[in-house]
Structure 1
Amino acid sequence: MSPYAYIPFGVWYLLIFVIGLVGNITVIHVTLKNRSLQSVQNIFIMNLAASDIVVCLLSLPITPVTNVFKNWYFGSLLCRLIPWIQGISIFICTFSLGAIAVDRAFVGCFAQNTGQLSYSTRDKEKQRLLNRTRRTTAILACMVIIFGLTWLPHNIVSLLIEYDEAEGHIFYIFGKEELNITYLINLFTHGFAMTNNVSNPLLYAWLNPTFRELLVKTFFKKRAKLAKQR
C-alpha cells in the first residue's frame, strides 16, 4: 500500500493503457481502410490487435487494483466473466502467433526458392518480392519473440504462486510473513507482460514502410480536406 510502490505502477499501467489502446485501434482502422494491407499476415496482426485491445480494457484497469488492494471490488458477475474473457483473449493471441509461425515457415520456403531463382536470372520484381517477404517475416518473428519474452516471467511467477503454499512461501523475505512481496512481484511481472500490448503496434508501424505511408494518408489527408472545407 506504499505510495512509493503503487504510484509508479499506476503511471506505468496508465501509459500502457493509453498507448496500447490507441495503437491497436489505429492498426485495425488503417488496415480496414486500405485494401492493400488486407493480406493473410495482416489479418493475423489484426487478430493480435483485437486481443490486445481486450487485454487493455480488462486486464490493465482491474488486475493492478486487485493486486494493490488485495480485494475484489467489481462484483460477482465480473469475477466470473473477466477471467474467461482474458483467457480467450490470450488464447487468440497465442493461436494467432502460432499461425503466423506456420505461415512464415511455408512462405520462407517459397521465398528461398524465389531467391535462388532471382539470383540466377537477375530478375528485379522477384527480388522486390523476396525483400518484402523478408521484411514481413522479420516483423512477425519479432512479435513472436517479444510475446514470449514479456509473458514468460509472469507465467513462471504465476506457477510459483500457485504452488507457493506447498513450497513454504518462497516470496517471503527471510521467511517472515510481514515481508511478503508476492503481490509486488506479481504486479511487476504482470506490468512487464502488458508491454506486449504496446510493442505490437509500435513494431508494426516502425518496420512496415507501407503501413507508415498509409497511416499518414489515412489521418493527415482527412485533416487537410477538413481544413480546406472550413
Structure 2
Amino acid sequence: MEAFSAVNATQEVVHLPPPDNDYDPNASVIRPVLPTPVFEGVNFPEDPIKLLSVQVVLILAYSTIIVLGVLGNSLVIYVIYRFRTLRTVTNFFIANLAVADLLVNTLCLPFTLVYTLQGEWKFGRTLCFLLPYAQGLAVHVSTVTLNVIALDRHRCIVYHLDTRMRKDVCFGVIAWTWVLSAVLASPLAIFREYGSFTLEPGYTIQVCTEKWPGKSTDGTVYSISMLILQYFLPLSIISFAYARIWSKLRGHVSPAESGGGSSSAGSERHRRRRKTTKMLVTMVVVFAVSWLPFHAFQLATDIDSTVLDMRDFRLLYTIFHVIAMCSTFANPLLYGWMNRNYRAAFLAVFKRNENVYDSDSFCR
C-alpha cells in the first residue's frame, strides 16, 4: 500500500501553544495530521465539508470502503489459512498484504472520517501518537510487500529457479518487512504533539499535529522523502522487475513448440505463470493509479504552500484520499476475478466445500 502515509499529508500550517501555554511566537510551525479546519482566514460556513449532502456522501463512501475492505481482506486471510493448497510462498506474501490493508481499513478510515467531519481530534493523547504510527506502518508494509512479491517472481522466472523459497525464509522476509516499516514510520510517533488550539475566545479545539524539533521545513523534507520511498522508488523497482518478467515470458518457447518432451506440463506451467503475472501486475497498476492523485496533490502542497489557502483544500484532500483508499479492497476482487484458485476458494467457503484444486501455482 500507501506510497505515502495517509496520515502524513501536509495540512494548514498553524501555531500550537504547548500545554503549559508558555507560547513562543518564534517557535517552529507544525501541521495537523489528518484533514482539519483551516484555522486562519477562513469563513467556516463556506467549507464544503460542512454541507450535509457532502457529509452524507463521505460517510457512504468511507463506510463502503471499510465494509468491502474488511470483508474482502479477511476472506483472503481465511482461505489461505484454511486451504492447504493455497499455502504457498506468494500467497503468504499476499496474506501479509491483506493484513496491512485490513489494518488501514480498521485503524485509518474510521478515525479519518470522524476527524474530517468534525475537524477536531477527539480521540485523546494516546491515540494521537499510536494511530498515525499504525497507519504509516501499514502503508510501508503494503509497499514493501508489493516489492517483495515482484522480486520473488523475478527470481523464479527470469533466472529459471524452479525451487520455491523455503517457508521459513518467507516468514523471515515478512518479519523483516514489518521491522523495516516500523523504523520508517517511527517519526510519525516521535515527532508529534497533542494540545489545544483556540479558534476564538471561548472556542478551543483539540488537535493532533506533527512537531519537528528543527526548522519548519523538516516536515516537508520528511514528507517528500516518504513520497519517494513509498511511491516513486518502489514503483520503479516493481516496473523494472515485471518488465523483465514479461519480456522473459513473451520470449518463452514451450516444449510443444520446440518439439521437446513434456509439452503438456511445460505449456501448462507457462500458462500459469503468465496468468499469475498478469494478476500481480494488475494489482500494482491499481495501487499506482489509486494513489497517484493523492500523491500529486501532496507533492503540490509540499512545493507550493499557497495550495493550503484554497477554499476547497479539505474537500479535494478528502476526495483524493477516498480514491487512494479504494486500493485497500481492490485486491480481493482481483484475486476472485483473475485467479482460479482464489475464485474456487471463495466459492468453497460459502458452499462449505473443502476441496480446492491447486491449478494456479506460482513458482515451481
Give me the TM-score of the superposition, normalised by structure 1.
0.86
- For 2:134, give the aligned amino acid: I
The whole-number CA distance in structure 2 between the counterparts of 1:138 and 1:210 is 15
Could you tell me which of 139, 145, 152 is aligned with 1:96? 145
Could you tell me which of 185, 205, 212 is aligned with 2:316? 185
Deviations 1:88-125 (A, max 9, x none): 10111000011112122233323749942423126111
Gaps of 5+ in 1: 173-179, 223-230
Q: Which has the higher strand share?
A: 2
Identity %: 31
- For 1:142, give the aligned amino acid: T
Could you tell me which of 248, 253, 261 is aligned with 1:116? 253
Q: Name 1:149's counterpart in structure 2.
A: 289
Equivalent residues of 1:24, 1:50 under 8 A apart? yes
- For 2:125, give the aligned amino acid: S
Q: Secondary structure, in 3 states, of the residue corresponding to 1:48?
A: helix
Could you tell me which of 64, 79, 91 is aligned with 1:42? 91
Equivalent residues of 1:19, 1:198 under 8 A apart? yes
The whole-number CA distance in structure 1 between the counterparts of 2:296 and 2:115 is 20
The whole-number CA distance in structure 2 between the counterparts of 1:59 and 1:162 is 22
Equivalent residues of 1:27, 1:46 under 8 A apart? yes
- Number of aligned positions between the proteins: 214
The whole-number CA distance in structure 1 between the counterparts of 2:118 and 2:67 is 23
Moved more, 208-217 or 194-203: 208-217
Equivalent residues of 2:300, 2:307 under 8 A apart? no
Q: Name 2:333's counterpart in structure 1.
A: 202
Q: Name 1:127's counterpart in structure 2.
A: 267
Q: Secondary structure, in 3 states, of the residue corresponding to 2:289?
A: helix
The whole-number CA distance in structure 2 between the counterparts of 1:169 and 1:197 is 27
Deviation at 1:85, TM superposition (A): 0.7
Deviation at 1:143, TM superposition (A): 0.8
Equivalent residues of 1:68, 1:183 under 8 A apart? no
Q: Name 1:140's counterpart in structure 2.
A: 280
Does 2:214 align with 1:74?
A: no
Could you tell me which of 55, 60, 67 is aligned with 1:6? 55
Deviation at 1:59, TM superposition (A): 1.3
Q: Name 1:177's counterpart in structure 2.
A: none
Q: Name 1:87's counterpart in structure 2.
A: 136
The whole-number CA distance in structure 1 between the counterparts of 2:309 and 2:278 is 38
Could you tell me which of 22, 26, 32 is aligned with 2:75? 26
- For 1:133, give the aligned amino acid: R
Q: Secondary structure, in 3 states, of the residue corresponding to 2:270?
A: helix
Q: Name 1:176's counterpart in structure 2.
A: none
The whole-number CA distance in structure 1 between the counterparts of 2:308 and 2:125 is 31
The list of structure 1 runs, each at least 4 consecutive aligned residues, that deviate by more than 6 angstroms after superposition, is: none
- For 1:99, give the aligned amino acid: V
Deviation at 1:164, TM superposition (A): 4.8
RMSD: 2.1
Q: Secondary structure, in 3 states, of the residue corresponding to 1:116?
A: coil
Equivalent residues of 1:114, 1:130 under 8 A apart? no
Deviations 1:155-197 (A, max 9, x none): 22233334553xx34652xxxxxxx111101100100011001
The whole-number CA distance in structure 2 between the counterparts of 1:209 and 1:65 is 39
Deviations 1:17-43 (A, max 9, x none): 101100000000001111111112111
Q: Name 2:301's counterpart in structure 1.
A: 161
Equivalent residues of 1:64, 1:187 under 8 A apart? no
Structure 2 matches for 1:49-68, cutoff 5 A?
A: 49-68=98-117
Equivalent residues of 2:76, 2:332 under 8 A apart? yes
Equivalent residues of 1:150, 1:193 under 8 A apart? yes
Deviation at 1:3, TM superposition (A): 1.1
- For 1:206, give the aligned amino acid: W
The whole-number CA distance in structure 2 between the counterparts of 1:14 and 1:98 is 29
Give me the TM-score of the superposition, normalised by structure 2.
0.55
